[in-house]
Structure 1
Amino acid sequence: MNVDCLIEEQLWSAAGIETIAATAADAVAAHLNLRQSGLEISLLACNDARIADLNSDFRGKAVPTNVLSWPSEDRSAEVAGAQPHAPVDPELGDIAIAYQTCLREADAGGRTLTDHATHLVVHGILHLLGYDHERDADATLMEGIETEILGKLGIEDPYAIIV
């Protein structure tokens, strides 16, 4: 899976976003047996102001968020909890990730920026592949796959409740 990175926020360069994105994409491709597929993703590594604009334009929410995704086609499953449809278009779509929000969330969760950004890129790629978390069964499927992929990368379950 190829990831084309456009870095608008230079703090992402220092954080190694290109390596983070490639690692996440390779892990998703390996887990879902998509390695030889020639799939492509575009990733915008931006700041909170830029993602707030995008969030406003596309979701009507003029606030920063951690990650946004725009799939090139609807691959979602009709039945809750079922596997999404396989990609037809090799260009899966676009992802945007915000540095400041990602850093704040990583700090608040006691995670490294690299681990949290990897999670968010995996999450965004799964959205491009038709996974979602709107329905409970879909959320269970998506979160389980995320946890398995991250576990293989040595990253703790981001959904684990710490008490």
Structure 2
Amino acid sequence: MSRPELSLSLQFADPRHKAQLPRHKVARWIRAALELPGEIAVRIVDAEEGRLLNHEFRGKDYATNVLTFDYSHEPVVGADLVICAEVVEREAREMGIALVDHYAHMLVHGTLHAQGYDHEEDDEAECMEARESEILQALGFADPYAR
């Protein structure tokens, strides 16, 4: 199946996991979640930058795993995905999963948010989680919600 075109900017403000996130894999994971062509920037940050961004844009004073800044849904998905390396590493360790698996999940999750998916309400969460599971399993990863 042909995947949508993707223009990807991959930035490492926190380079600790750079070897685990080669451009071709990041692009593959994002493209699998895209329903339309996309222009997406992915920035891997440390906890300080993650906390500052989460505080400034969401009013929450802690670093979170992924922040999605979506600018357009059609005809091209435009978004910035900010992923906090320390949080993703801690969560992967706590869940007992490979770091790369959790990064793939966060990239798919953020890409779905960039297209308007949400999980604030139960029915929205169910739909988004089902879509994440479907995409990740098609990519060869375990269902993140079957733990």
TM-score of the superposition, structure 2-length normalised?
0.89
Identify the structure with bigger relative contact order (alpha carbons < 8 Å, sequence gap 6+): 1
**8 Å Cα contact 2:41-2:80 kept in structure 1:** yes
Provide the identity percentage: 35
| Structure 1: unaligned runs, 5 residues or longer | 74-86
Q: Counterparts of 1:126 and 1:7 in 2: how far apart (Å)?
A: 21
The count of corresponding residues between Structure 1 and Structure 2 is 142
**Letter of the structure 2 residue corresponding to residue 49 of structure 1:** E
**8 Å Cα contact 1:24-1:122 kept in structure 2:** yes
**8 Å Cα contact 1:9-1:99 kept in structure 2:** yes
State the Cα distance separating 1:19 from its structure 2 match: 3.7
Q: Residues 8-58 of structure 1, C-alpha deviation per residue, up to 9 Å, x if partnerless? A: 0011312225344212112113xx4x3xx3x21011111111100100101
**8 Å Cα contact 1:20-1:114 kept in structure 2:** no
Q: Quick check: which one's strand share is greater?
A: 2
Q: Compared with structure 1, are the counterparts of its residues 122 and 143 closer, same or farther at alpha carbon in structure 2 (3 Å cutoff)? A: same
**Letter of the structure 1 residue corresponding to residue 112 of structure 2:** L
Q: Counterparts of 1:23 and 1:144 in 2: how far apart (Å)?
A: 19
**8 Å Cα contact 2:20-2:100 kept in structure 1:** yes
State the Cα distance separating 1:89 from its structure 2 match: 4.8
Q: Counterparts of 1:19 and 1:7 in 2: how far apart (Å)?
A: 15
**8 Å Cα contact 1:48-1:99 kept in structure 2:** yes
**Letter of the structure 1 residue corresponding to residue 63 of structure 2:** P
Structure 2 partner of 1:40: 39
**Pair member with larger Rg:** 1
- RMSD value, Cα: 1.5
Q: Counterparts of 2:82 and 2:98 in 1: how far apart (Å)?
A: 19
**Letter of the structure 1 residue corresponding to residue 133 of structure 2:** T
**8 Å Cα contact 1:147-1:157 kept in structure 2:** yes
| Structure 2: unaligned runs, 5 residues or longer | 1-5
Does residue 103 in structure 1 map to residue 89 in structure 2?
yes
Structure 1 partner of 2:110: 124
Q: Counterparts of 1:110 and 1:23 in 2: how far apart (Å)?
A: 24
Q: Counterparts of 2:117 and 2:123 in 1: how far apart (Å)?
A: 11
Q: Counterparts of 2:25 and 2:105 in 1: how far apart (Å)?
A: 9
Residue of structure 1 aligned with 2:119, choices 121, 126, 133: 133
Structure 1 partner of 2:21: 16
**8 Å Cα contact 1:71-1:129 kept in structure 2:** yes
Q: What does 1:1-163 align with in structure 2 at a 5 Å threshold? A: 1-16=6-21, 18-29=23-34, 32=35, 34=36, 37=37, 39-73=38-72, 87-161=73-147
